[in-house]
A = this chain, B = another copy of it.
């Protein structure tokens, strides 16, 4: 029976609040104005903050191409020309590449035995100071246990390794490839917003072959040219190329895509930033170098190598951003969430009218004393209970 009655009440009744209607142009207009203000504000808020749009993260592919030649003239190497095959260490043309600007070359190394480079730890006076089989952390090989002459005046422990060992010296200053500041980098970037099936390239459709052959990026005059002069990159990042060329460093080329697909706005924004900038209070040294070797075979068939400790600029092309597109779901969720705040108009009006109009208050409120309530304080029959 109980279930049946609940069923009757649930399906056989319709409940609705009783309403007091005040016929007053003043109150009506005041309320509607307030309601309208809140509504407009909420809608404006949803649209301004992109509450009506769905977002997607970027999928990016980058190829790069460096152009330029540099001339060096040192006592060791004499006059020499450096082209892209020489100064780009790995030729992959990836989104990150290393442009060699300075180097310490150790030519004609072979696997043999020789005196270690003199440091506080490697110097010795007799074989007693050297341990056979010991590998120093900063060393160039395995100690043989003998103490030999590095030069006329200095003796160091002998090592088995690539000999002669690399000299621990400061890199040349100014940098060997100081000319590199005039090199240019062509950056091709293809992006994909998979959710919206939208892809675009940073070589915009209106860019012609002849424009691409001659243009150089300039924030004011050529903001869409994908070719960057290294000098300009460093100026925008407020770094000094010549200093960084000596010791090396890491530089970011940032491409930001903030795409509003509803408004068909989707163009790349370029910016530049040094990535290995140390904190001002830090005593850390900022050096960027890497070692690689070119292997040769001498006429007697033995392998020798030229070891190159290369200082240079590592360029990282960082692509980020998001796309936004109208989404009914997002809009529904945003509007639904903000609708809660629409009652603000009701609450304010109610509070003001109650304060100023006694008749309104009298008609609106019905009072029930605690005595009346208590006198009936027993459970009401379940037949009348309402779920």
Contact = CB atoms under 8 A, between A and B. Distances in A.
Nearest to A212: B284
A202 to B, nearest CB: 11
Contact of A292 (B15, B85, B276, B346): B85
Interface in A302-351: 305, 307, 314, 316, 318, 320-321, 329, 332-341, 346, 349-351
Contact of A89 (B92, B96, B387): B92
Given A190-B250, A329-B49, A356 B370 contact: no
Interface stretch (A61-69, A118-126, A238-246): A61-69
- Determine chain A's interface SS by DSSP, over half rule: mixed
A45 B332 CA distance: 10
A51 B365 CA distance: 38
A25 B49 contact: no
A320 B20 contact: no
Size category of the A interface is 35 or more
A19 interface: yes
A237 interface: no
Interface stretch (A139-147, A148-156, A168-176): A139-147
Given A20-B15, A29-B11, A295 B293 contact: no
Copy number of this protein in the oligomer? 3
Given A284-B212, A293-B86, A336-B337, A142 B61 contact: no
A215 interface: no
A17 to B, nearest CB: 4
Contacts of A335: 340
A94 B96 contact: yes
Residue picked from A11, A79, A199, most chain B C-beta under 10 Å:
A11
A263 interface: no
Contacts of A378: 358
Nearest to A49: B329
Contacts of A329: 45, 49, 51
Interface in A3-19: 10-19
A386 B361 CA distance: 10
A81 B23 contact: no
A20 B16 contact: yes
Interface string A262-297: 000000000001011011011111001011111111
A325 B256 CA distance: 20
Given A208-B283, A376-B357, A81 B162 contact: yes
Q: Closest 4 A-B residue pairs measured CB to CB?
A: A336-B337, A205-B279, A14-B27, A85-B293
